[in-house]
Amino acid sequence: MIKFKSIKNDQIGYAWGWDSDLLNRGNVSWDAHQFVTFGDGMVQHSPLWLVEPGNTIDFLYSMAEHLLQNPKEIEEAKSGWGYDEATSTISFLASIHWKEGKIRYYSFNELKISSSDSKKYDKRWTEVPQWADGTLASVYRLFLDNQRMDFFRQIHLLSQIKDWFYDRDNSSWSIRGDEHFSWLLDLAPGKDKWECWNEIVHAYKTVDCQVRAFYLTRGLQRQIDTYKEKS
């Protein structure tokens, strides 16, 4: 676990890396917590509790600043951080389209679609819902139907799906008026969900970029070490 001070509020501190096991989609993150300092530096005057939604932006920028100043702690901070889903899974979920008059089933793990009646009673298969239409929102909802994700992981996922659609056909994305992203309003208050998304994703990436850089640097070092061993 790492602890760091809040940039905006000297009455609280933050902690990352202690999973509270409160696994529900209403958590900002299962690893992000806060505690009371009463302005007493980083002295903890209360138990840890899950970071409050309204503190999300401050938590992310505070964590990013702490990691910039303490790069050795990225090794510990990367535990629990978001990770990319397989592009093959995104591609498969984007290919799922409900068809009127046809009952079909899909397997999230096997990445397959079937019209066989035998799949109806197989728990490994799920009936294709009527709202499945290959859009970003559809792919996102199919992920949530099959995996538990806190808000940080959902932010990471949405960013990755958005990039996948853009790389595939240069398509843009807007979440205006989509109730499935209303939770963003709690994390980054703004005029609409699109502005909230921009604010939260920029804050999220201040940490995400550092974690990605850590993995890339470690990978490069392994390549260099392998080259040295062969010399």
Whether the pLDDT of residue 24 is over 70: the answer is no
Residues 19 and 61 in one domain: yes
Tell me, yes or no, whether 61 and 95 share the same domain.
Answer: no
Is the same domain home to 55 and 91?
A: no
Taken in order 192, 50, 37, 62, is the CA torsion positive or negative?
Answer: negative
- Residues contacting residue 158 through CB under 8 Å, at least 6 positions apart: 136, 140, 181, 197, 201
Residues 73 and 120 in one domain: no
Average pLDDT rounded to a whole number, residues 196-218: 93
Q: Is residue 181 in a domain?
A: no
Query: What was the pLDDT predicted at 19?
Result: 60
Determine the pLDDT at residue 127. Answer: 97
Across the chain, mean pLDDT equals 91
Structure tokens at 124: 């490994």
Please report the pLDDT score of residue 85 as a whole number: 95
Name the residue with tokens 């992981």: 153
Mean per-residue pLDDT, 56-69: 97
Q: For residue 182, give every residue at least 6 positions away whose Cβ sits within 8 Å of its Cβ, in sequence order, or none.
A: 193
Q: Do 19 and 52 share a domain, yes or no?
A: yes
pLDDT score for 99: 95
DSSP of 136-160: HHHHHHHHHHHS---HHHHHHHHHH
Backbone angles phi, psi at 220, to 5 degrees: -65, -40
Q: What percent of the chain has pLDDT over 90?
A: 76
Please check whether residues 100 and 61 belong to one and the same domain. no
Answer yes or no: are the C-beta atoms of 19 and 13 closer than 8 Å: no
Domain region containing 26:
2-80+201-223
- Whether residue 102 lies inside any domain: the answer is yes
Among 163, 144, 146, which residue's Cα sits nearest to residue 154? 144
Both 160 and 209 in a single domain? no
User: How sure is the predictor about 91, in pLDDT bands with cuts at 50, 70 and 90?
Assistant: very high
Tell whether the model's pLDDT for residue 110 goes beyond 60: yes
What percentage of the chain has pLDDT greater than the value 70?
Answer: 95
Rounded to an integer, what distance in angstroms lies between the CA atom of residue 131 and that of residue 119?
Answer: 20
pLDDT in the model for residue 141: 96
Query: 71: pLDDT confidence band, cut at 50, 70 and 90?
Result: very high
The string of DSSP codes covering 177-220 is T-GGGTTHHHHS--SSHHHHHHHHHHHHHHHHHHHHHHHHHHHH
Predicted pLDDT at 191: 79
pLDDT in tens, 114-160: 999 999 999 999 999 999 999 999 999 999 999 989 999 999 999 99
Report residue 20's pLDDT band, with 50, 70 and 90 as the boundaries.
low
Contact at 8 Å (CB) between 39 and 14? no
Q: Which element (helix H / strand E) includes 13? A: strand 12-16
Same domain flag for 91 and 42: no
pLDDT at 44 over 80: yes
CB count in 10 Å sphere of residue 86: 9
Long-range contacts from 138-146, C-beta under 8 angstroms, 24+ separation:
138/93, 138/94, 138/96, 139/90, 139/93, 139/94, 140/180, 141/180, 142/93, 142/96, 142/108, 143/85, 143/93, 144/25, 146/108
**Global pTM exceeds 0.95:** no
Q: pLDDT tens digits for 172-186?
A: 777 777 788 989 999
Say which DSSP state 54 is in. G
**Nearest CA-CA partner of 27 in 180, 186, 191:** 186
